[in-house]
Amino acid sequence: MADKNWLNENEKWLKTIVSLVDTELGQSAKTELYDAITKMSGEKPTTVDSTSTHQIVLATTENQNLISHQLFDRLNDEGYIIRTITEHEKPTILLSAKTDKGLLYASFHFLRLIQTKQHLGSLNIVENPKNQLRMINHWDNMDGSIERGYAGKSIFFENNAFTTNLERIKDYARILSSVGINAISINNVNVHTVETKLITDEFLPDVATVANIFRSYGIQTFLSINYASPIQLGQLTTADPLDPTVRNWWKEKAKDVYRFIPDFGGFVVKADSEHRPGPFTYERNHADGSNMLAEALEPFGGIVIWRCFVYNCMQDWRDRKTDRARAAYDHFKPLDGQFYDNVVLQIKNGPMDFQVREANSPLFGAMTKTNQILEFQVTQEYTGQQIDLCYLISQWKEILEFDTFAAGAGTPIKRIVDGSTFENKISGIAAVSNIGNDDNWTGHQLAQANLYGYGRLIWNPDLSTEVITDEWVRATFGHDPEVVEHVTAMLFDSWPIYENYTSPLGVGWMVNPNHHYGPNVDGYEYSVWGTYHFADNEGIGVDRTVSSGTGYTAQYFKENKEIYESLEICPDDLLLFFHHVPYTHKLQSGVTVIQHIYNTHFEGVEQAIGLMERWSLLKDKVDEERYQNVMNRLNQQIENAKQWRDMINTYFFRKSGIKDEKNRTIY
């Protein structure tokens, strides 16, 4: 329900909706406006020309005459204009775009203006998305489980079949479209036996049904595929990308897929990593493997999204010259310029694996002739699993603003992945979804902010974290000043808090293997091969320098390489990512490494308690269901923080033999 004072001033604009666009997306735009305005104002607007004094008009370039057509030259195919026109015989709020997809985004933007109580009498908005591909990746399995899924089961699959709850999928499409998402892959990148069949006639009709739902909200559907499909589905004896029979098999398979889904987006591929099949089996490289698939998809306008998460998980990590962080760059940088135009490399934000703090991937900016998109992880695999509160927009904002120096100073990652620096044909950002079948979609009510923030940030990486956060808080909880203040503060504080009581100074990991929740200092999936942090009784950290370590720092451009190479000027929060140092090494803060570990883990517990205490102040201001959901999670978070504190501090006290300067209890 809209604020009464705001409604008294603005409700005249909400009486009539006139749509001049009779397409599927145009209908979605009109329906979203109609339903939302009805719920927020309490009155149903008319959808025909009426006696009301004001109106909302939805129109594309061709069917509007209220503003100059030259203004549309500023728009791309997904951009839009929202303008209040008072000089017309009937004062009008015009929502207009070159395409009906842009019109849909305009409608959602207009509803956001209402939710945030913007005055409607003087709107003059021109919006274009900064990123071409704005994607969500699902890691859903057809048995209904989700790999790294912390909000319940899949909304797409159950019992090795597609769900019959299509309304839930439609609501999800509406959620994604409302923040500008335009692409989705619906199944796990680790493609198992049943999911391999998604590209067969057995399941393609179901995929088409889902694609139809997403299409009506401007979202293109992709599938993750098994690189060994020609063997598993086609009874071939090889999946060699240079074998003519394999190439022909994929060409015929592409025809099958597009017969069911004419606007199918393409394939997402994880190959040659963590036991997934790929071209390495046949002594081919990633360009060979991806180009074969690109050749099959090219006649239909499809693309191949090839993930750069490639490393040998069975390497012996006890060898201090072995460095997983080097892997993506070492594999892909030499192939720059060899990929077809409809291949895009999907690069994780860091060289390791979505840690609470790690360096940014040096691949960004390193490949000037190759399409590339950035991969984030909205689902909180290593950042609390939607049990612990960890608002990730601040982290992503830092990553996007990071200056790579790829084309000199002022070449941030956001200007590489939007395609502008190297004029890439395909560019953008993807992320792993945090959605499941919990009633509130994300398990933790406040984890919704990560999905909302992701969509808004990749639409426009220049938006501030403050603006994005304020939008979500007000749209979700209303405009009570106390609620807005406390929820906003909780979100902003949560990432540093989580970092404080988990992995210090960029060292990462230290989590339980497999499920990745809770502390395990020496934990690692392939534990026989040791740990990542190289802690001994003298010190801790990974030496990634050129002078004495793995040489990883050389993968960065000179300006960043010199910072990370230097023990003196390397940022404290990444010190142990780049250097192995004694426990007595003094940080730039003046505190020793060991004392920093003790301090932050004690502080982290107190800060987690502080989150709970702050939320408790809102007991009578938030409905009981949402209040209890968040309170239960915050109490779990406190227990988790205590476990981290006790295990980490005890481990490093016993390892180093150095006491806490503040004489706090360490077992």
> What's the pLDDT tens digit per position in 165-195?
999 999 999 999 999 999 999 999 999 999 9
**222 & 353 share domain:** yes
Q: Which of 60, 93, 127 is the last residue of a domain?
A: 127
pLDDT for residue 66: 81
Residue type, 69: H
On the question of pLDDT at 312 being above 70, the answer is no
**Does residue 570 belong to any structural domain of this protein?**
no
**Does residue 481 belong to any structural domain of this protein?**
no
Burial 20-43 (b: 16+ CB within 10 A, else e): ebebebbebbbbbbbebbeebbee
> What's the pLDDT tens digit per position in 335-378?
999 999 999 999 999 999 999 999 999 999 999 999 999 999 99
**601 & 635 share domain:** yes
Pinpoint the alpha helices (H) of 549-592: 558-565, 575-578
On the question of pLDDT at 106 being above 70, the answer is yes
User: Confidence band (pLDDT; 50, 70, 90) for 527?
Assistant: very low
Q: Name the nearest CA neighbour of 352 among 382, 373, 332, 380.
A: 382
Total domains in the chain come to 3
On the question of pLDDT at 233 being above 70, the answer is yes
**145 & 112 share domain:** no
SS (H, E, C) 586-654: ECCCCCEHHHHHHHHHHHHHHHHHHHHHHHHCCCCCCCHHHHHHHHHHHHHHHHHHHHHHHHHHHHHHH
Average pLDDT, stretch 246-274? 95
pLDDT for residue 316: 57
Pinpoint the alpha helices (H) of 200-278: 204-215, 229-232, 244-260
**158 & 228 share domain:** yes
**146 & 122 share domain:** no
Q: Which of 464, 485, 510 is the last residue of a domain?
A: 464
**Does residue 26 belong to any structural domain of this protein?**
yes
**Does residue 485 belong to any structural domain of this protein?**
no
- Cα 60 to Cα 83: distance, rounded to the nearest angstrom: 13
The answer to whether the beta carbons of residues 519 and 512 sit under 8 Å apart is yes
**Does residue 567 belong to any structural domain of this protein?**
no
Q: Which of 127, 160, 180 is the last residue of a domain?
A: 127
> What's the pLDDT tens digit per position in 467-490?
999 999 999 999 999 999 999 999
Percentage of residues in the chain having pLDDT higher than 90: 86
> What's the pLDDT tens digit per position in 373-416?
999 999 999 999 999 999 999 999 999 999 999 999 999 999 99
**308 & 353 share domain:** yes
> What's the pLDDT tens digit per position in 111-167?
999 999 999 999 999 999 999 999 999 999 999 999 988 999 999 999 999 999 999
Q: Which helix (H) or strand (E) holds 581?
A: strand 581-582
Average pLDDT, stretch 291-305? 98
- Look at 314-323, 579-588, 621-630 and tell me which has the smallest mean pLDDT: 314-323
User: Confidence band (pLDDT; 50, 70, 90) for 529?
Assistant: very low
Q: Residue 448 has which token pair?
A: 């919704």
User: Confidence band (pLDDT; 50, 70, 90) for 314?
Assistant: low
On the question of pLDDT at 305 being above 90, the answer is yes
pLDDT for residue 478: 94
**Does residue 87 belong to any structural domain of this protein?**
yes
**529 & 440 share domain:** no
Distance of CA 454 to the CA centre of its chain: 6
On the question of pLDDT at 528 being above 50, the answer is no
On the question of pLDDT at 319 being above 70, the answer is no
Average pLDDT, stretch 421-433? 97
The SS3 assignment for 267 reads strand
pLDDT for residue 567: 97
- Look at 201-210, 265-274, 354-363, 461-470 and tell me which has the smallest mean pLDDT: 265-274
**Does residue 177 belong to any structural domain of this protein?**
yes
**122 & 154 share domain:** no
**314 & 426 share domain:** yes
As annotated, the active-site residues are 274, 353, 381
CATH number at residue 2: 3.30.379.10
Average pLDDT, stretch 595-600? 98
- Cα 71 to Cα 132: distance, rounded to the nearest angstrom: 21
**598 & 650 share domain:** yes
Beta partners for 59?
96
Pinpoint the alpha helices (H) of 322-384: 327-332
**85 & 205 share domain:** no
**204 & 222 share domain:** yes
CATH number at residue 399: 3.20.20.80
pLDDT for residue 311: 66
To the nearest 10°, the Cα dihedral for 314, 318, 321, 327? 30
pLDDT for residue 313: 52
Q: 4: domain range? A: 1-127
Burial 389-426 (b: 16+ CB within 10 A, else e): bbbbbbbbbebbebbbbbeeeebbbbbbbbbebbebeb
> What's the pLDDT tens digit per position in 21-42?
999 999 999 999 999 999 998 8
CATH number at residue 599: 3.90.1330.10
pLDDT for residue 258: 98
| Alpha-carbon distance values, 560 to 229, 361, 402, 406, 501 (Å) | 42, 12, 10, 10, 28
**Does residue 548 belong to any structural domain of this protein?**
no
pLDDT for residue 533: 84
